[in-house]
Structure 1
Amino acid sequence: MVPTLQPWLSVLALALAPQAPVDEGLAQALQRAGDNAPEIRRAIAEAPDEQRAAMRFLIRHMPEHDLKALQADFLLENLALAAEARAATPWAQAVPVEIWRNDVLPYAQVNEEREAWRADFRQRFAPLVADAASTTEATMRLNAHIFGELGVKYSTRRNRPDQAPSESIELGLASCTGLSILLADACRAVGVPARLAGTANWFDSRGNHTWVEIWDQDGWHFVGAAEPDPQGLDRGWFAGDAARATPGSREFGIWAASWQPTGHSLPMVWARSIDWVHAVDVTARYLPSTAAAVDGEGNPVDAEPRVDLLFAVRNPAGERVIATVTLRDPVTREIVFTGATRDESQDANDFLVASVAPMSAWMLEVARAGKRWSYQLEAGNEARQTLSLQLEDSANFQLTGQVRTQAMQWFNASPEERAAIDFSELDTQLRRALGDPDREASIRRQVWEAYRDAAIHGETLKDVQADRVRHGGHESPYTIKTVGERPASGWPLVIAMHGGGGTTQEFNDSQWRHMQIYYKDQLDLGGGYKYIALRAPNNTWNGFYDNYVYPLIEKLIHQHLLYSDIDPDKVYAIGYSHGGYGAFAIGPKIPDRFAAVHSSAAAPTDGETSVVGLHTLRFTYMIGSRDTAYGRAERCQKFAEQYRAAQDAHPGSYPVEMFWIEGNGHGGLPDRDFIRQLYPYTRRTTPAALHWQLTDPVVRHHYWLQVEEPGKGQRLDARLAGNRLQVSSTERDQFAVLLQPAQVDISQPLQLDWNGETSEHTLQPSVRTLCETLLERGDPRLMAPLRLSFER
């Protein structure tokens, strides 16, 4: 046989042939899928040849929790329906493949629950847009039609901001984000590229907003969900605000969601810890092309100084209603502005906006349901002034926005500037309002809204976005999750503290992770709550019960009053072991911050825990009879003797209770469902009798009592009955009272009996005092219009 080189040449050719590139992104996705990888592989294998590249793109960029949970059938149906929509119309076919894959194919917009909406929406809405000439026309038809068909409207009473379509449809209510998810999904179902866009905070710090962007042949355009405008896209009430956004800023910029990674994550105020929703900074497209100023509707105006008046009209129940607002020249009576206010079906940040000269005077007219009201109005110097017009049953209305505007000016001012602001006119309004609970509540609401929206919370917002709380060099990270549905009054807040203490960082971190799941979700309470698992700021034994802890906890509550829609009267603290020691200190020291507090597997700390201040707070603790280390069980028994003595001395007070678990040691206490025991309790802020044993140099408030330079060994006991205040004190020569009008008769003087010495004091409620006490306490229920200070 003659030797041949053919086999060797074949081997050499094979070795030199180009190899198919390895799809590293897909390989990593399959690895992250874990036990669900077979489903992901099947989705790729069973995708039609012409669509397999699209399936690979989708899977390559799926979030990890989707990779571990979604089934092949779900992904294959989503792919087939998206391809079907692409083939159905000329404008869908004209969408570039890279945009189709990123902004039509994905089955979700942001972090909403995953569900198969595409088939239903395609069946419902494809006929509506079948003869549309473009994606723009299709979007306009959808926006004008789908919300009526689905029966969904805007409301702040929705369950959560990021509702999936089925939840919004079932409830009939959605936030701007929920409405945007519905519209963007409907667009994708018929082949229109659509994505969510928005800002975490408007330029004036009044809050976030979400809308929809859709793609047409000339690029991306924006549209407000459920806000159809027959004049086209790139219009809306928020255009002027968007024109003042800050490029590159996660807080004040405008960002649009993306399926594929971009190097940035979408700033989502409802889920700040999530970093797997990708985003692009689109702020530049919203900025004016020239330096010309724009008004509240995004229209150019003269370069001369202007201020925006933002109008809302409310009925006697406080609900926004549609009314005609007119501004007339006070001399000539000529109409210079007219428009209609928004009702509760529109976004809460959607105001009727009039742009006028600073300090200009106007005749303001409001017309509704055949009635007309008038008012002399003077615009201030603030760039944006929110005026809430409260209609009354009589022939008048209350311009409550004046309170908000002046309070906002005060909060944004320096301490020196604050002293010069004159509240005398508003104080007259306040005194007149105190006989009318609705009007008083309206003034308090204006002050709270001014404080909440003031430009003084920048560092607080950064902390919330980073899921951390800081005070005096100490920092505690936390996780936060939502359980159940939002109650009408806002979200209750549960603060859970972990075990561990004086040990390693790794062990305390593991205990913190365990606390994130330790207390079981309670879904049958008649309402939901927010659950925070708080990490101790260090790895010491007293990590949760040292002097830095109490301001830290107050700051944590304050954060979420500002940014998480928390009900201030439904805040709870609960902890186990190390965290239980924290509860045993936090509850007695700052009881006016909580509705209820519970401690498990811990004990009171000498010199830090006093039963005296628990006269009103529901405080419980659970201990095993065999939990004898560090004298825990014995200390708990002694504390029981103390609270029972207090209950005997003050019948009806001291709602404290011990749960003694016979035979139980330190671990395994039956408390994992204890949130359901706390949930029914609501905070009381104005008990008639206060007993305060001071145990540290940092806590300055106890319900309606306030002191300067607190210290151990000091004590105050106070009882308010009508306008008679009896106070006994030990080692205190100064205190103040912060009173609500419902506690006293402001037309009569206050009679003080302090350690047997009597005096008489005039009661003068003040909006300035409301602002000052709110700045000090950061809690809308603890601010007070009356402050009297006493000193010897």
Structure 2
Amino acid sequence: MHQYYPNLTKQLAVGLAIFCASATSAQTNLSRKQADALATTELAAQMAIQKPKAEADRDAKEIKYKNFTLKYTTQIFGEKPAGGRSLWISLHGGGGTTPKANDQQWENQKKLYQPAEGVYFVPRSPQNVWNMWHDYPMDQFIAEIIKNEVVLDDVNPDKVYVMGYSAGGDGTFQLGPRLADHWAAVAMMAGHPGDAEILNLKNVPFTAFVGGKDAAYKRNELVAQWGKRMDSLSATYKGSFIHDTHVYPDMPHWMGRKDTIALPWMAAYTRDALPKDVIWVQDDILRDQFYWLGRPLDGAKQGQMARVAVKGNDIDVIENTNNILYIYLNDQLLNLDKKVTVSIHGKKAFSAKVARNTSVIKETVGMRMDKSLIFSGKLMIKDGKVSVM
């Protein structure tokens, strides 16, 4: 729906011209053309606001959030594709050790991988704890990293990848599923799955690597088990849970760079920002949006689950344990010029047109500044009833 323009000034001018020409239309009954124009305008405005902050972050080589600071380095590889660069977020090892040890792991990570194309972004964890990559506030940092790189290096948000080694692998096991709607693909190297929500990976390719002799914390056994679980899920959900698992029998924790084959494997994939069948299991770090689903943070609990599918203009709520569930809509997911039908557990609960709404466009641009996740309609399911927001 929303073309990506690297030139912010041009994008803003084009969007404003198109939208202002039809400004007399009702704010809650936009045509598709008007909705697209407003989305273009709002996205350009948000990017223009983000750019000076991103430039200041780059000058300082760090991003701040509340009392946390995330330092980072970047390298750019290859020629920029027409649709924008890829972004490779690479998480170092270490964890609950000394700052000096984690600094050394950060230095190692800077040289560990080289994508054929894209921005190689290596952050230094803001904390020196075992769960440094998946505890609060890493979700907020990931969001800022992506926003900054979109405006600074013309990164395409549909080509963002995350990977990590050792404690960084622990992080990708957790961030991969929890932030699945951010990633084109995920790679885990020599980490521990812990309580990662595997079902959230339905629409994200995930590759995992471990040495067969890497017995600490049973990494070798648990990664192999993870691969078998992915095998089972991909057999159950045909075409989903794309994965590739490598257990190198004779390798210890350090795999001698055998894991570098992950990068071309990942690069073959582009994010599906609007998959037609979504499973969302709420993790211990709570989220209010996942692909085209959402909910208020107030009342959200770990383990709450929703599975919702779209076929044509029919929305099927297959499972939902959320007291309130939002369904965000746009003209890529379905046709907003026609009636939208919602069924809950097989029973029809709603059938009507959903008007394109300026407030939903502005809300969703503000939430993510993500060209592929801008919505113009919104439904709410509460107490078994569906209403238009």
TM-score relative to the length of structure 1 = 0.45
1:564 aligns with one of 141, 149, 153: 153
Is the CA contact (8 Å cut-off) linking 2:47 and 2:369 kept in structure 1? no
Residue 18 of structure 2 is aligned to residue 400 of structure 1: yes
Is the CA contact (8 Å cut-off) linking 1:476 and 1:534 kept in structure 2? yes
1:749 aligns with one of 320, 325, 339: 339
SS at match of 2:31: helix
What amino acid sits opposite 1:687 in the alignment?
A: P
Give, in whole Å, the separation in 2 of the partners of 1:474 and 1:386.
33
Is the CA contact (8 Å cut-off) linking 1:584 and 1:604 kept in structure 2? yes
Give, in whole Å, the separation in 1 of the partners of 2:231 and 2:92.
28
What amino acid sits opposite 1:654 in the alignment?
A: F
Is the CA contact (8 Å cut-off) linking 2:12 and 2:44 kept in structure 1? no
Give, in whole Å, the separation in 1 of the partners of 2:17 and 2:336.
24
Shift of 1:496: 0.6
What amino acid sits opposite 1:777 in the alignment?
A: R
Cα distance, 1:728–1:696 mapped onto 2, change above 3 Å: farther
Give, in whole Å, the separation in 1 of the partners of 2:109 and 2:283.
29
What is residue 433 of structure 1 aligned with on the other side? 33
Shift of 1:457: 6.4
SS at match of 2:198: coil
2:305 aligns with one of 715, 720, 735: 715
What is residue 321 of structure 2 aligned with on the other side? 731
How big is each residue's C-alpha offset from its partner over 1:640-663, in whole Å with a ceiling of 9 and x where there is no partner?
A: 222122112111111022111111
How big is each residue's C-alpha offset from its partner over 1:488-516, in whole Å with a ceiling of 9 and x where there is no partner?
A: 11111111111111111111101101111
How big is each residue's C-alpha offset from its partner over 1:419-445, in whole Å with a ceiling of 9 and x where there is no partner?
A: xxx9845666x41528xxxxx755533
> 5 Å matches for 1:161-560?
387-388=13-14, 399-400=17-18, 402=20, 424-425=25-26, 430-431=30-31, 433=33, 443-454=38-49, 459-522=53-116, 528-560=117-149
Is the CA contact (8 Å cut-off) linking 1:386 and 1:401 kept in structure 2? no
Shift of 1:757: 4.7
| Greater RCO (Cα-Cα under 8 Å, separation 6 or more) | 2
SS at match of 1:713: coil
What is residue 33 of structure 1 aligned with on the other side? none
SS at match of 2:14: strand
Give, in whole Å, the separation in 2 of the partners of 1:728 and 1:388.
41
What is residue 236 of structure 1 aligned with on the other side? none
Give, in whole Å, the separation in 1 of the partners of 2:101 and 2:335.
56
1:772 aligns with one of 363, 369, 372: 363
What is residue 160 of structure 1 aligned with on the other side? none
Shift of 1:446: 2.7
The 4+ residue runs of structure 1 with deviation greater than 4 A are 347-351, 422-428, 440-443, 456-461
Shift of 1:730: 4.7
Give, in whole Å, the separation in 2 of the partners of 1:678 and 1:628.
26
How big is each residue's C-alpha offset from its partner over 1:271-319, in whole Å with a ceiling of 9 and x where there is no partner?
A: xxxxxxxxxxxxxxxxxxxxxxxxxxxxxxxxxxxxxxxxxxxxxxx9x
How big is each residue's C-alpha offset from its partner over 1:616-658, in whole Å with a ceiling of 9 and x where there is no partner?
A: 1011110111111001111112212221221121111110221
Give, in whole Å, the separation in 2 of the partners of 1:423 and 1:781.
27
Shift of 1:602: 0.9
SS at match of 1:612: helix
Give, in whole Å, the separation in 2 of the partners of 1:529 and 1:386.
26
What amino acid sits opposite 1:515 in the alignment?
A: Q
Give, in whole Å, the separation in 2 of the partners of 1:548 and 1:386.
32
Give, in whole Å, the separation in 2 of the partners of 1:423 and 1:502.
59
Which moves more between the two structures, 757-766 or 773-782? 757-766
Give, in whole Å, the separation in 1 of the partners of 2:175 and 2:24.
37
What is residue 659 of structure 1 aligned with on the other side? 246
- CA RMSD, Structure 1 to Structure 2 (Å): 2.7
What is residue 387 of structure 2 aligned with on the other side? none
Is the CA contact (8 Å cut-off) linking 2:161 and 2:183 kept in structure 1? yes
Give, in whole Å, the separation in 2 of the partners of 1:479 and 1:642.
35
What is residue 32 of structure 1 aligned with on the other side? none
Shift of 1:671: 1.9
Is the CA contact (8 Å cut-off) linking 2:208 and 2:245 kept in structure 1? yes
What is residue 644 of structure 1 aligned with on the other side? 231
- When Rg is computed on C-alpha atoms for both structures, the one with the higher figure is 1
Is the CA contact (8 Å cut-off) linking 1:472 and 1:548 kept in structure 2? no
**Kindly, what percent of the aligned residue pairs are identical?**
25
What amino acid sits opposite 1:674 in the alignment?
A: A
Give, in whole Å, the separation in 1 of the partners of 2:230 and 2:237.
10
What amino acid sits opposite 2:163 in the alignment?
A: I
Is the CA contact (8 Å cut-off) linking 1:490 and 1:567 kept in structure 2? yes
Give, in whole Å, the separation in 2 of the partners of 1:593 and 1:746.
25
Give, in whole Å, the separation in 2 of the partners of 1:349 and 1:624.
46
Is the CA contact (8 Å cut-off) linking 2:77 and 2:119 kept in structure 1? yes
Is the CA contact (8 Å cut-off) linking 2:328 and 2:376 kept in structure 1? yes
Residue 202 of structure 2 is aligned to residue 615 of structure 1: yes
How big is each residue's C-alpha offset from its partner over 1:141-163, in whole Å with a ceiling of 9 and x where there is no partner?
A: xxxxxxxxxxxxxxxxxxxxxxx
Shift of 1:742: 2.6
Is the CA contact (8 Å cut-off) linking 1:601 and 1:622 kept in structure 2? yes
1:789 aligns with one of 369, 380, 385: 380
What is residue 270 of structure 2 aligned with on the other side? 682
What amino acid sits opposite 1:666 in the alignment?
A: H
Is the CA contact (8 Å cut-off) linking 2:207 and 2:262 kept in structure 1? no
What is residue 696 of structure 1 aligned with on the other side? 284
Give, in whole Å, the separation in 2 of the partners of 1:746 and 1:673.
42
Is the CA contact (8 Å cut-off) linking 2:364 and 2:373 kept in structure 1? yes
What is residue 99 of structure 1 aligned with on the other side? none
Shift of 1:601: 0.7
Is the CA contact (8 Å cut-off) linking 2:281 and 2:305 kept in structure 1? yes
Cα distance, 1:350–1:728 mapped onto 2, change above 3 Å: closer
How big is each residue's C-alpha offset from its partner over 1:521-577, in whole Å with a ceiling of 9 and x where there is no partner?
A: 53xxxxx21111111111111101213222221221122123221111111111111
TM-score relative to the length of structure 2 = 0.88
Is the CA contact (8 Å cut-off) linking 1:623 and 1:659 kept in structure 2? yes
For structure 2, the residue ranges without an aligned partner over 5 or more in a row are 384-389
Give, in whole Å, the separation in 1 of the partners of 2:255 and 2:226.
22
Give, in whole Å, the separation in 1 of the partners of 2:53 and 2:156.
22
Give, in whole Å, the separation in 2 of the partners of 1:647 and 1:510.
38
Shift of 1:458: 5.5
What amino acid sits opposite 2:183 in the alignment?
A: F
1:592 aligns with one of 181, 184, 199: 181
Which moves more between the two structures, 529-538 or 669-678? 669-678
Is the CA contact (8 Å cut-off) linking 2:286 and 2:302 kept in structure 1? no
What amino acid sits opposite 2:227 in the alignment?
A: A
Residue 357 of structure 2 is aligned to residue 762 of structure 1: no
Cα distance, 1:791–1:473 mapped onto 2, change above 3 Å: farther
Cα distance, 1:350–1:492 mapped onto 2, change above 3 Å: closer
Give, in whole Å, the separation in 2 of the partners of 1:386 and 1:632.
50
Aligned residues: 376
Shift of 1:402: 2.5
What is residue 386 of structure 2 aligned with on the other side? none
How big is each residue's C-alpha offset from its partner over 1:743-777, in whole Å with a ceiling of 9 and x where there is no partner?
A: 22223332222235532243111233211101012
Give, in whole Å, the separation in 2 of the partners of 1:565 and 1:426.
31
What amino acid sits opposite 2:133 in the alignment?
A: F
Is the CA contact (8 Å cut-off) linking 1:578 and 1:602 kept in structure 2? yes
Give, in whole Å, the separation in 2 of the partners of 1:486 and 1:641.
37
SS at match of 2:337: coil
Cα distance, 1:629–1:423 mapped onto 2, change above 3 Å: farther
Give, in whole Å, the separation in 2 of the partners of 1:350 and 1:736.
33
Residue 193 of structure 2 is aligned to residue 604 of structure 1: yes
